[in-house]
Amino acid sequence: MNINDFSSSLESRRKQYLKQKVKEYIKQGFSRSEAINKANQSWRAHIGSQIQNVIYDFITENLSSTKLKITTDKILKSQNLEKELEKVKRMIAISYGEYLFLPDADIVIYKMCKSDDIKILAIVSIKNSFRERGFETTYWKLKLTESEITSHIKVFLATPDKDDEIAYIKKTKNPSKMRVILEYELDGLYFLKENFEETPKAKHFSKIIEDILEIAKDNC
């Protein structure tokens, strides 16, 4: 699979998935309209998980020969974490008075320094669609910037952007308001698709590896 063109396969996957799910729900006694609605809801949850798995596997495989470490917010939200992961959790948590919350951190990349110190390098937020919570990642980036402890953490956004909500071709149209703000506030946008306007901050997803390696140099 071409990681930079993952988006093109989504439509055929969606049609097959919805067709099968609608049949299943109708057999369970739902009307066709109810079955279609439930199938669409199921697809959104399913594809979100699938995209995250693809991205996690790609980053893990390509960083396997380095000393960098990778975890996810799902893991960090678990109970009884080992000491190292508990430190990682505390080092990305954002304070709201007496409360601490994890940012939108689908994937967290960090490294071990001398004396078992941990340095958080980057957070990768994964979005399939921007119709809901489009600016959530920019909010968390700004919150991380407010603290000296977390201000150095790079925040990247990875997306197939199947519906071209933030991709654009400069020759034919201008960038959307969301694209401008995301590109301005975040440290990088990475597209799992071929056709989009590239800039120094907006790149094919495969280039995220060299960017991670660059920020990892002497970052302790």
- Reported as a single tens digit per residue, the pLDDT across 124-179 is 999 887 765 778 999 999 999 999 999 999 999 999 988 888 988 777 788 999 99
Give the 3-state DSSP-derived string for 86-135, with helices as H, strands as E and coil as C.
HHHHHHHCEEECCEEECCCCCEEEEEECHHHCEEEEEEEEECCCCCCCCC
CB atoms within 10 A of CB 29: 8
Span 5-33, average pLDDT: 82
The predicted pLDDT at position 38 comes to 84
Higher pLDDT, 89 or 6: 89
Lowest-pLDDT choice from 38-42, 99-103, 123-127, 154-158: 38-42
With a cut of 80, say whether residue 2 has pLDDT above it: no
| 216 SS3 class | helix
Sheet holding 202-204, edge to edge: 69-72, 107-112, 118-126, 154-159, 188-191, 202-204
What are the sequence ranges of the domains in the chain?
Answer: 65-216
The predicted pLDDT at position 72 comes to 94
As a whole-number percent, the residues of the chain with pLDDT over 90 amount to 52
Q: What is the pLDDT of residues 59-87, one digit of tens each?
A: 999 999 998 999 999 999 988 899 999 99
Instruction: Please measure the distance between the N-terminal and C-terminal CA atoms of the chain and give it in whole angstroms.
Output: 35
Q: Which helix (H) or strand (E) holds 53?
A: helix 32-62
Q: Label residue 97 exposed, middle or buried (CB < 10 Å: 0-12, 13-18, 19+).
A: exposed
Cα–Cα distance, 203 to 65 (Å, whole number): 23
CATH number of 65-216: 3.40.1350
pLDDT band for position 1 (50/70/90)? low
Give the DSSP letter of residue 167. Answer: -
